[in-house]
Amino acid sequence: MKKKLLFIYNPMAGKSKIKTWLSSIIEFFVRNNFEVVTYATTGKKDAKKIVLDCLSRDNYELVVCSGGDGTLNEVISGIMNIENRTKIGYIPSGTTNDFAYNLKLPKNLPKAAGVVLSGEAFPCDIGLINGEYFTYTAAFGLFTDTSYETPQTTKNVLGRMAYILEGIKRLPNWKSYRMEITCDDRVITDNFIYGMVSNSVSVGGFKGLTGKDVLLDDGLFEGIFIKMPQTVMDFQGVINDLLKGNLNSEHIYSFPVKEILLTSEEKVPWSIDGEFGGEFNSVNITNLQKAITIIRNTENGRCVK
């Protein structure tokens, strides 16, 4: 008997590359003895709704999604609400595809489809921020709004360059947030231009920002909080620290996070997996260890181009 595979793709993600490969990817799964149920997403939260609808009606061996980090987030959020969490396969076809680096997935879409069937099932941590799930990052401050305010039409034409151009536009408008951060027995009060709780070697397309100790299943996130520079020297210090990967300095707080509380008088806008996550005075983030099973590439232990 054929096994069932639910395939959800965002036709507008990235430069719409999935449209070129759609038929051959479906044929590949069918040739490998899967009955493929396919849905194209039509807008925000659609992928989550499809997962909830389909998985409440039928049993699936695999849920495969294709799109960017936003689509993956929606699929995972749907799976997190199901009792028997189905295994997830991912074919990255978005603009940045940060999370795909962690799974060492090929950029070539048919090859990534191959990994869905040949890779290893990996239990991966998931984050919970004020009741919403995130796959790899929750962040506030400098440049985080570029990820959700860059128009999809510009991303379709320019790819990642669209984010960079939006980021440059925002450079003159630095803003800091006064926050109290409580994590384990540490309480910090300071003015921050940027903060991030993440589980990824790549954030916003930049690799290495989160340090060298990123493990996706250790029950811990990496917390990084950059203080507001007071002088030009401070500003240079922040840039130098980031370039050198020196995350524990007089300019930057960095520590592992199992659970963290951030409070502020002013409402702070958050980006969750690159999408707008809401504005909050109080944010509670928890690591849900090994909450989902996702397929990763094991071929030579590296990203295949």
Ligand X SMILES: Nc1ncnc2c1ncn2[C@@H]1O[C@H](COP(=O)(O)OP(=O)(O)OP(=O)(O)O)[C@@H](O)[C@H]1O
Which residues are near ligand X by CB under 6 A? Answer: 10-14, 41-44, 46, 67-71, 74, 94-97, 152, 155, 274-275
- Using alpha carbons, select from 134, 109, 76 the residue that is nearest to residue 294: 76
In the bound state with ligand X, the residue whose beta carbon lies nearer, of 78 and 229, is 78
Minimum Å gap between C-beta 150 and ligand X is 8
Minimum Å gap between C-beta 303 and ligand X is 15
In angstroms, rounded to a whole number, what is the distance separating the alpha carbons of residues 134 and 136?
6
Contact in structure between 84 and 60 (CB atoms under 8 Å): no
> What element of type H or E holds 24?
helix 18-31
Q: Can you point out the beta strands (E) in 130-251?
A: 132-134, 137-141, 177-183, 186-198, 202-203, 206-207, 221-227
Minimum Å gap between C-beta 190 and ligand X is 30
CA-CA-CA-CA torsion sign (284, 285, 290, 291): positive
Minimum Å gap between C-beta 160 and ligand X is 8
In the bound state with ligand X, the residue whose beta carbon lies nearer, of 97 and 144, is 97
Minimum Å gap between C-beta 149 and ligand X is 11
Report the residue number whose CB is nearest to ligand X: 68
In angstroms, rounded to a whole number, what is the distance separating the alpha carbons of residues 108 and 193?
36
Contact in structure between 97 and 123 (CB atoms under 8 Å): no
In the bound state with ligand X, the residue whose beta carbon lies nearer, of 17 and 296, is 17
Contact in structure between 64 and 87 (CB atoms under 8 Å): no
In the bound state with ligand X, the residue whose beta carbon lies nearer, of 49 and 87, is 49
In the bound state with ligand X, the residue whose beta carbon lies nearer, of 2 and 207, is 207
Contact in structure between 234 and 259 (CB atoms under 8 Å): no
Minimum Å gap between C-beta 31 and ligand X is 26
In angstroms, rounded to a whole number, what is the distance separating the alpha carbons of residues 7 and 15?
19
In the bound state with ligand X, the residue whose beta carbon lies nearer, of 70 and 223, is 70
